[in-house]
Structure 1
Amino acid sequence: MKIKSLLISGFAGLLTLSSCSKFLEEKSQSEVIPKTAIDYRELLIGSGYMDVYQEPNSFIYFMDDDVDFFIERADGQDSPVGQYDAKVDFPYYTWQPRQADRNGVGDLISEDPGSTAYAQYYKWIMGCNAVLDNIDKAIGTDAEKNRVKGEALAVRAYYYFILANMYGEPYNHNPQSLCVPLKLNSSITESQMKQNTVAEVYAQVVADLNEAAALLDPLPIARKDFHINQPAIHMLLSRVYLYMEKYNDVVSETNKAFAQGAMLADLTAMPYANWLTYNNPEVEWLFGGNTQGDQSTYIPAAAFRATFDPADVRITQGILVQSNNGVPLVSKLPTGGQLGQTIRTPEAVLNRAEANVQLGKLSDALKDLNDLRRTRIPGYTDVSISDKAALLLAVREERRKEFCFEGFRWFDLRRYGMPAITHRYQEDLGGPILQFKLAEKDPAYTLPFPSSLLQRNPELKQNPSGTMPDRIGQ
């Protein structure tokens, strides 16, 4: 089948939508048939990899406990309160059941199901599937084809992992609950697809990542080329196993990443603008759009900022309190048309540390914790923590600091047991300050599906979070 037609018809079969490959559009206005493994690798970049212009689930930035609405200034200057952007994002910030359908000023935001985060991820999944269905017939060496196939499997696995943590319940809470449909080929689907369970989606993610590793591990490691590589695959697999609480597997996968050259860097001597770029030798894969919402609207919460060591460069540089107006901003994240996400070595360190705590290997976990802190806090002195619960908390708090505003926290809170969260909201300066509460194990920890998707695919079952009454501030 011609690949352009394949991509369009396959995605149409899944969501009754259409999409086309940027790669193919740029090559020719007519249909193009990739022939070589190199062609398919370009097709994968154009149709399977995330682009720089968007991160479909960046709205989860507004939902966790690292953000707040208020700037601590009595005069109210530079406050987001009353700003249009703050009102637009109100449904996310307050965990409203119709957050996927209307913004905070009443505009419909999901009339076109193709604009939803759900559909964006499936569009890229279809790009991966198109490559996987055809790469074995390509012209090229086995090594060239294995590299393309391994990348496509790994990237597809990443998308399904994200979808599972958006629309399925936490794996360690209810793995048999409904999740999202698994679409594993690019053929036309005439019938609507039914949802798989969380356990089934995770099983596919693990299978894809393990197959990707088996294909790529024998090949030379490529770095700084915007393609997922072997250490990144093993780090991603360690993350999945951590969510599944398979702690021995977590340690095994992180050790493989270190054996392949993953390394920590001294951020105390590195400009913060380089942290999430290939100028940072910790970064194994750079991809995707910015994970942060409007930085002038939501700011790092004061309680969270207070958890940092005052000398920690992640607060003195990564979260920058500007001297001219006192507004705290997340300065480590890129702006404009720059790639904004990474898989990098500190995740391997912290995944392994958390797994070792759970395995009772406290000295190994403590070493990893101290090793990481030494590269973030000038003049750091190693600490000694002998209590298992205290060390687990310290490792998880270090994870929070290291990856704040990079899309980790909301998913981590889910696997930590879905704790209660409170957000303050004030519609306009001078108005009442309302408290909106997310209860422990609240259904909103699993996101609602947009109504437009439910209408297009009746096989999708709305999550309980989408059938709750509106949340009212107190």
Structure 2
Amino acid sequence: MRKTFNKYIAALLLGTLLVSCEKNIELTPTDTISNETAIKTYDDLDRAVIGVYSSLNYQQAFYTSTIMADENRWGLDNSTRNYGLGHRWVFDSSNGDVTAAWASLYTTIDRINRALESADAVTTANATQEAGKGRLKGELLAVRGFALAELLRWFAPTYESTALGVVVITKSEILGKPQRNTFAETMTQINADLSQADALIPASFTDLFRITKPAVAAIRARAALYAKDWAGARTYAAQAIAAKGTLATGTNYANIWKDSNTSENYFQLRRNSNAGSVRTYWTDDNTDVFFSPSYKLMDTYDKTNDVRYNAFILNDTSVPSTRENWKVNKYSGQDATNRFNNIKVFRVSEMYLILAEANAELNDLSAGATALNAVRSARIAGYTPQAFASKEALIDGIMLERFKELAFEGHRFFDLRRRQLPVVRDDRDIAVGTSVPKTLPTTGRNYILPIPAAEVFANPGIQQNPGY
């Protein structure tokens, strides 16, 4: 596999695109401190790992997947702001809303590769640090596997083994001009990284703000889901559930979104006033509502018995009729004064839904229904478990439940893509906003996200996605 990386953000670091000035291409890059100088001790390596976590901008998937899909609508207050053009499916490869993950994730991978180059040689002060060094290396490998899996979700034109994947990099080299690996080749590296991480991270490590052993299983389950490795998805989802499989109910579930309950979280990213608030994707600090929950989504909930309805959706009756009253409530803040929420990257309910889908695809309808009914029973008071007469009916039920359970968490658009389903909005959800379209067919150009134009400009040999 390719071991070089055309560093997309080199242009930002050097002040201009590398290709714009021929004489600069021949200069030795000096934008970073050398690994030999920066990472010498265990504490240096630990700080490098913390830096890797700090570079993860996972909430970008929340925003892009939501505005691209059918779980939201153009807010009434957004009509004069023209914010979020990806919602209209008229973007090109220079649109940051749909390409930002490329630079962000490859920045993370580059940090990982730099740290891994020094990891084995760092000095330790005692046996505890020596043992911890292996865990730190495991965390780095796990995050690299996760970052590559995210890049596949965003930028693979289809989720098939022979399709184009992304650039697999295991060594930092700013001036490289690599080509994209296939989806299968990318998955091979993802699986190798996660397998090594699982062996290196001890079961005793339980920090939810870092990758733990159960979190590795959760990453492997999601990656297998996208690769249509149904046996693997079932195995790893079951492992994650066995390690931490209790589904929250009632108030305990609602408190997950206020950060006072972490019982369903495998891995989360700390967010505070220095890191930004997810809620401002939907409603800004002036209370202008850019995007509202779609009527299509709201209609799926039992508004009386489903705890998710009020946890996710707010009808603000205090605003005048000229303003938008429906608001996303899922990230309203920890309390009235702290308006920030930690980012839940992997949760128990997702693992149940992956388990349900994998069993459905493996024609074990009973086991699939059991996993799906477990989520519904935890969320809906008085729910009666349902049986499914066919594989197709069960998968439809799972897709509906993913729509409801994982709303605004960065899954819906990618879920539709991996099932090769069009995005279809309700008529009520296109009534506000200039030229908001109803349907994005699977053949539409913007059904596939583009490789950033700046990356293609800096590396003309990289393969762009179809249509761009």
Please give the range of the TM-score, normalised by the shorter of the 2 chains.
Answer: 0.7 to 0.9
Q: Please, which of 299, 309, 312 is the counterpart of residue 306 of structure 1?
A: 299
Q: Does the CA contact (< 8 Å) of 2:5 and 2:171 recur in 1?
A: no
1:148 pairs with 2:136: yes
Q: Does the CA contact (< 8 Å) of 2:5 and 2:176 recur in 1?
A: no
Structure 1 equivalent of residue 430 of structure 2: 424
Instruction: Please state whether the residue corresponding to 2:60 is helix, strand or coil.
Output: coil
1-structure distance, mates of 2:290, 2:382: 34
Instruction: Please state whether the residue corresponding to 2:267 is helix, strand or coil.
Output: strand
2-structure distance, mates of 1:200, 1:288: 32
Structure 2 equivalent of residue 66 of structure 1: 71
- Tell me the alpha carbon deviations over residues 375-422 of structure 1, each in whole angstroms, 9 at most, x when there is no partner: 111222222333322121112211111111100111111111132435
Structure 1 equivalent of residue 30 of structure 2: none
1-structure distance, mates of 2:253, 2:364: 34
- Tell me the alpha carbon deviations over residues 141-187 of structure 1, each in whole angstroms, 9 at most, x when there is no partner: 55312211111111111111111122212223xx323332222112x
Question: Structure 1: which 4+ aligned runs deviate by more than 6 Å?
Answer: none
Q: 1:19 to 1:434 in 2, by over 3 A?
A: closer
Q: 1:221 to 1:255 in 2, by over 3 A?
A: farther
Please report how far the alpha carbon of residue 62 of structure 1 lies from its aligned counterpart in structure 2 after TM superposition. 0.7
Q: 1:278 to 1:154 in 2, by over 3 A?
A: farther
Structure 1 equivalent of residue 215 of structure 2: 232
Please report how far the alpha carbon of residue 312 of structure 1 lies from its aligned counterpart in structure 2 after TM superposition. 0.7
Structure 2 equivalent of residue 89 of structure 1: 84
Mapping 1:154-233, distance limit 5 Å: 154-172=142-160, 175-186=161-172, 188-216=173-201, 218-224=202-208, 226-233=209-216
Amino acid at match of 1:382: P
1:101 pairs with 2:99: no
Q: 1:301 to 1:426 in 2, by over 3 A?
A: closer
Structure 2 equivalent of residue 316 of structure 1: 310
- Tell me the alpha carbon deviations over residues 287-316 of structure 1, each in whole angstroms, 9 at most, x when there is no partner: 277666334111111122111122211112
Amino acid at match of 2:44: D
1:406 pairs with 2:435: no
Mapping 1:371-386, distance limit 5 Å: 371-386=374-389
Q: 1:334 to 1:233 in 2, by over 3 A?
A: farther
Amino acid at match of 1:265: A
- Tell me the alpha carbon deviations over residues 245-272 of structure 1, each in whole angstroms, 9 at most, x when there is no partner: 2112112112222332342222x12273
1:287 pairs with 2:262: no
1-structure distance, mates of 2:94, 2:60: 18
Q: 1:52 to 1:460 in 2, by over 3 A?
A: closer
Q: Does the CA contact (< 8 Å) of 1:157 and 1:208 recur in 2?
A: yes
Structure 1 equivalent of residue 257 of structure 2: 275
Instruction: Please state whether the residue corresponding to 1:435 is helix, strand or coil.
Output: coil
1:80 pairs with 2:89: no
2-structure distance, mates of 1:334, 1:129: 36
Q: 1:57 to 1:15 in 2, by over 3 A?
A: farther
Amino acid at match of 2:330: K
Structure 2 equivalent of residue 437 of structure 1: 439
Amino acid at match of 1:299: S
2-structure distance, mates of 1:369, 1:261: 17
Count the aligned residue pairs: 417
Amino acid at match of 1:197: T
2-structure distance, mates of 1:233, 1:404: 23
**What TM-score does the superposition give when structure 1 sets the normalisation length?**
0.79
Instruction: Please state whether the residue corresponding to 1:317 is helix, strand or coil.
Output: helix
2-structure distance, mates of 1:119, 1:244: 23
2-structure distance, mates of 1:344, 1:278: 15
Amino acid at match of 1:179: G
Structure 1 equivalent of residue 360 of structure 2: 357
1-structure distance, mates of 2:237, 2:154: 25
2-structure distance, mates of 1:456, 1:390: 47
Q: Does the CA contact (< 8 Å) of 1:157 and 1:209 recur in 2?
A: yes
Q: Does the CA contact (< 8 Å) of 2:269 and 2:344 recur in 1?
A: yes
Amino acid at match of 2:207: R
Q: 1:41 to 1:334 in 2, by over 3 A?
A: farther
Structure 2 equivalent of residue 43 of structure 1: 48
Q: 1:284 to 1:357 in 2, by over 3 A?
A: same
Instruction: Please state whether the residue corresponding to 1:154 is helix, strand or coil.
Output: helix
Please report how far the alpha carbon of residue 352 of structure 1 lies from its aligned counterpart in structure 2 after TM superposition. 0.5
1:127 pairs with 2:111: yes
Amino acid at match of 2:164: L
Q: 1:399 to 1:135 in 2, by over 3 A?
A: same
Q: Please, which of 248, 254, 257 is the counterpart of residue 265 of structure 1?
A: 248
2-structure distance, mates of 1:437, 1:52: 29
- Tell me the alpha carbon deviations over residues 349-382 of structure 1, each in whole angstroms, 9 at most, x when there is no partner: 1111111111121121222222211211122222
Q: 1:302 to 1:32 in 2, by over 3 A?
A: same
2-structure distance, mates of 1:170, 1:116: 19
1-structure distance, mates of 2:78, 2:8: 41
- Tell me the alpha carbon deviations over residues 56-83 of structure 1, each in whole angstroms, 9 at most, x when there is no partner: 773332101111126xxxxxxxx23523
Q: 1:456 to 1:56 in 2, by over 3 A?
A: farther
Q: 1:54 to 1:265 in 2, by over 3 A?
A: closer
Q: Does the CA contact (< 8 Å) of 2:205 and 2:213 recur in 1?
A: yes
Q: Please, which of 442, 450, 453 is the counterpart of residue 452 of structure 2?
A: 450
2-structure distance, mates of 1:332, 1:316: 9
Structure 2 equivalent of residue 74 of structure 1: none
Moved more, 314-323 or 56-65: 56-65
Q: Which runs of 5+ in 1 are unaligned?
A: 1-9, 21-27, 71-78, 103-108, 467-474
1-structure distance, mates of 2:424, 2:43: 48
Q: 1:338 to 1:303 in 2, by over 3 A?
A: closer
2-structure distance, mates of 1:246, 1:302: 34
Please report how far the alpha carbon of residue 123 of structure 1 lies from its aligned counterpart in structure 2 after TM superposition. 0.9
Amino acid at match of 2:447: Y
Instruction: Please state whether the residue corresponding to 1:341 is helix, strand or coil.
Output: strand
Q: Which runs of 5+ in 2 are unaligned?
A: 15-32, 272-276, 284-288, 334-338
Structure 1 equivalent of residue 22 of structure 2: none
